[in-house]
Amino acid sequence: MIIEEKELTQLKVKIHDISKNYPLVDLIYIYIILISYKFIHYSMSLVPKYIKNLSPYVPGRRIEDVKSFSDTSNIIKLSSNENPLGPSNKSIIEARKVIKNAHRYPDSSGYNLRKLLAGKYSINIDNVILGNGSEGIMSTIIRTFLHGDDQLISSEDSFIGFRVLANASGYLVHWVKTDNYYYDLCSIAKKINKKTKIIYLANPDNPTGTYFTKSVFDDFIKKVPRKSIGYIR
């Protein structure tokens, strides 16, 4: 606990005023109470330090914004993983079919889609989860499995979405440097310890586009303990 000089002076003034009416024993007791109050005040911070240290995500400019200061009319946005060609006609037709039920809550579990995926890959439907993009699934994994002194590992220059979620979790994250913009799986494996719970890999990587092969991954996964979760995006 750090108490600034100004606050320490204020404490001394309070103690001096109180000491006029109380004996020494009571004065010591009051001093302890005042110091304890300051300790509680500092330890009960409204926002955790790991949240304060987060940097806000800066998205790419919208096409409308670029047009406001540019004479170029043919603008193609390559950031944010958006499709410059627009939605397919098939998706538009399907969207029109369900729009009449937009006043009802949708099936949040995605049962029909999960059933189709489970049948396609011959697995139990309970082993299929859906998310609003990979970040939704990553958030669920982090909130579900991390506890105590668990730790995470990933590449420091990989997908910013995972970086934000990992840093916001408050758990220790080991960020491993890339090797010429490629995932360095050997260095990541060396960071694995008894506290490692989640290992995040993006393949191909976002935003570099680099990737590792199946054989390289097979060698890596042999070094991952069964209690650790390897998440591949």
pLDDT at position 9:
65
Q: What is the mean pLDDT of residues 22-32?
A: 57
- For residue 204, whether the previous peptide bond is cis, meaning omega lies within 30 degrees of 0, is yes
Q: Amino acid identity, residue 123?
A: I
Kindly indicate the confidence band of residue 7, based on its pLDDT and cuts at 50, 70 and 90. Answer: low
Our CA dihedral for 170, 172, 173, 176, rounded to 10 degrees, sits at 150
Other C-beta atoms lying within 10 Å of the C-beta of residue 107: 10
> Strands (DSSP E) along 70-193, which ranges?
151-155, 172-176
Give yes or no for a contact between 118 and 160, defined as CB atoms under 8 angstroms apart. Answer: no
Q: Architecture of 131-232 per CATH?
A: 3-Layer(aba) Sandwich (3.40)
1 pLDDT more than 50: no
φ/ψ region of 148 (left if φ > 0, alpha if ψ in -120 to 50, else beta) reads left
Q: For residues 159 and 162, what is the distance between their CA atoms, to the nearest angstrom?
A: 6
Q: Are 176 and 154 in contact, with CB atoms under 8 Å apart?
A: yes
Q: What is the mean pLDDT of residues 201-220?
A: 92
What is the pTM for the complete model shown? 0.69
pLDDT of residue 118: 97
Please tell me the predicted confidence (pLDDT) of residue 181.
Answer: 92
Q: Name the more confident of 95 and 49.
A: 95
Q: What is the mean pLDDT of residues 145-167?
A: 91
